[in-house]
Amino acid sequence: MQTSEPVASPAVRTYNKVVLALSFALYVWAGWYPQPYAAVIVVLGALPWIAFALARLWPRRFIIRDLGISGSRIELSSLPVAASIGLLQRAIFDASLVDPWLILLPGAAGLVVLLACAAWASEELRDREMLIMYALLLCGYPAGLFALANAEFDQGQPRIYEVRVEEKRHTSGRGGSNDHFKVSAWGPRAGGEEVGVSSALYGSTKVGDMVCIRDYVGALGMEWYEVRPRGRC
């Protein structure tokens, strides 16, 4: 049974607010303006391990438990969560899998390792309910990391398809905006299916235009694709 955490000092509350603000800023950086791109991925990839190391090495000063700011130690939970959301966003936008179900096995294996390290770093996460909650919050980290690695380290030559844009769809919400084209048949996909596209391509393309789909095998064997303007096939 967990013991209650003493009331935070004003300094700790301030630090906790700074950590939350930093986590939100990283989420915005990854989702809306991921430049320089390599730096975004490296920072997001390192965040959970930095949080785990701090909690393990200085347990009286740092804790990974919940997303609050009222405890007597500096709460680092929001950093791994920001990394999870940010990497998953970038994977969806930049490394779209032809069959998204293929990410389940490596993602699950990576999540087990991540949760084991989190529980080793912070004894508060050894509680079953906390671990389940963290599994839900952090599942995007290994999935996003594997999907991005699958695309980034792919050295193969793509198969190229020219397709017609049949419909356009834009959605927006608190988690950001998403742009999709419904396109004619290509490669492993039947006609009428949607593909994710960048906001720049969405804005410069009309229904009836032709665009280019580059279909890759994937460095980890997970087929993925990217959509480009017809002139940049």
Tokens standing for 149? Answer: 């690695």
Which tens digits make up the pLDDT trace of 41-76? 999 999 999 999 999 999 989 988 765 555 688 999
The pLDDT of residue 1 is: 44
- C-alpha–C-alpha distance, residues 195 and 182, integer Å: 6
Long-range Cβ pairs for the range 24-30 (8 Å, 24+): 24/78, 24/82, 26/79, 26/82, 26/83, 26/86, 27/82, 27/85, 27/86, 29/86, 30/82, 30/85, 30/86, 30/87, 30/89, 30/90
DSSP three-state, residue 110 = helix
Q: Which residues of the chain have pLDDT under 50?
A: 1-2
The pLDDT of residue 58 is: 93
Domains in the chain with CATH codes: 10-152 (no CATH), 159-232 (2.40.50)
The pLDDT of residue 191 is: 73
The pLDDT of residue 10 is: 82
